[in-house]
Amino acid sequence: MTEINKVALQKLNNTLRRIPLTGKFGDDQSVITETGGKYRSTQSSILGKSTGQTIGGMTAITQSDLYPGDELSVPAIALVTSDAKSEALRTPGKSTKSSDISTLTNSSVQGDGFMHAKVMLGSGQAIKNAYFDTVGEEPDTGYLLQFVPSKFKKFAQEALGGMSPSADYFSQIDTVSAGVQTSSNNIKSLTSGVLGREEAEIGNTEKAVLSSQNYIEELLKDVSKNSLDEDQLLEVENLIINGQNDQAINLVETIGISKGVDLDKTDLEKSLTNLSTSTASSIDRSRAKDFKLGKSSRKTKDLGKISNNWKGSSTDTKSYTFEKVNSLEELVSELRGCERPITETIVHWTAHYNNQGHVGAKEIHEIGLRRGFKGCSYHYVIKRNGDLERGRPISLRGAHARTAGHNKFSIGIAFVAGYNCPSSTPNPNRFVSAKSITAAQFKTLDMFLKGFFMIFPGGQAFGHMDFDRNKPDPGFDVGEYIISRFNKQNVSNPQNGPVSPTQLASLQRGVA
């Protein structure tokens, strides 16, 4: 019997993860959020926490049944009081005719003697409409904002200012709904595009499986000996997806006969009779987290013995070989074994050119010796191809961040970068830039920082330029980088020097 080629679980997950990144999901979600916020800002109110509450000359004569936070579920019924004369009417350009004031305030004003209690919902738009109906002009948006719950104020300035008090209320709500519907349709369309099929009877997960690797199609091509064209493949697939396996077998046999193809009917029937479209039977879970990988094919290095071979400027580079870190697990093991107190990583570049891909930790060590230093100043060096090489052992204090004393509690890591130009370029200082750092190097930095935060979850990360104003490296804001990439926030000012583990814990408690 022909076996199906199952979909790799990792591949399926990758397909599903792509959904939010495809097209403009984020944009449409933002439109819905913003449109909803604008609508809520015009219809919600903080008036009505209690009967008799007065804001801006409007008094609540009812109280909302539910009051979560500062947003009422239903705006209160509001009565315009005489205070509204000063709060709402006495602004430049507004009418103060006695009939207008009487209409708004339920007070007896000399003139036409008209008296009327103006009652309305206490929402921003209702107040705006009532004001316009009475005075003939729109109230200032600033006046209306005092009724809006705090979480909707950012939307209210534009929303209340943009809604016309002379237009029909429901037509404006329809306009809002249309905007949301357009974004909703966009998302539906994008989802269909990623998942590939639109048949209502096929669930999203099944669609994603078929998009990852159409195992049914592959099986049909095999058992039909490629006798089915694209339309016929789709027709047979739909029969199988809908559980009509017998009809699928008959259709394949009929097409094979019509094209003179000698099919293996036994294989065809066995392969398709019990073919299931369920995700459970079509996903290869061999990469699942509980899969046993067996013994490692590479022995873990004796990191302590490697460190013992470091002798500073007298280091024998035959015994201390500035080895490459081969995996995150190897890095984590090394960081976990560090007995020196660590609170921060300092990121540098080495001031090399973009044609110096051969430079690594050994070359940095030799440069340090020529400059009278004790060899490599950094604990790790990231080559231009992304290789992470060991410099001096992390058990020893580095010599990369003397300003403000940052060598004390830090790990120093450096990109082989700095000049985004070849080494023969005249006036290379014109090309000092973070663009000299390769994508492979940034990927390795991410791997390093991931391991660093695993072992030192409260750790911080700074760039050399954060505390030494004479240094431009590494050319980008490391603090912002770790916020966006790892959701980690530095809490100390690096210009004030390093902090000990105890001090860092105290600062973080203060932030929390």
pLDDT above 90 as % of the chain: 35
Beta strand 58-60 pairing with 77-80: antiparallel
Q: Write out the H or E segment, with its range, that includes residue 381.
A: strand 380-382
Domains of the chain in start order, with CATH, are 45-147 (no CATH), 204-284 (no CATH), 303-511 (3.40.80.10)
Dist. CA 382–CA 413, nearest whole Å: 7
Checking if the pLDDT of 235 tops 70, the result is yes
Choice among 53-67, 288-302, 368-382, 478-492 with the minimum mean pLDDT: 288-302
Q: Residues 136, 19: contact at Cβ < 8 Å?
A: no
- Residues 69-115 have pLDDT tens digits of 555 556 677 776 654 443 443 333 444 444 444 444 344 434 333 33
Q: Residues 317, 362: contact at Cβ < 8 Å?
A: yes
Please list the residues that pair with 79 across neighbouring strands: 59, 119
**Could you give the angle at the alpha carbon of 372 between the alpha carbons of 426 and 334, nearest 5°?**
95
Would you list the DSSP string of 316-374?
A: -TTTS--PBP--HHHHHHHHHT--S---EEEEEE--EETT-TT--HHHHHHHHHHTTSS
Q: What count of other Cβ atoms lies within 10 Å of the Cβ of residue 105?
A: 24
Checking if the pLDDT of 263 tops 70, the result is yes
Q: Residues 260, 227: contact at Cβ < 8 Å?
A: no
Q: Residues 147, 58: contact at Cβ < 8 Å?
A: yes
What is the pTM for the complete model shown?
Answer: 0.46
Give the pLDDT confidence score for residue 103 in this predicted structure.
45
Q: Running DSSP on this structure, what letter comes out for residue 436? A: G
Helix (H/G/I), strand (E/B), else coil: 455: helix
Pull the structure tokens for residue 148. Answer: 């809006």
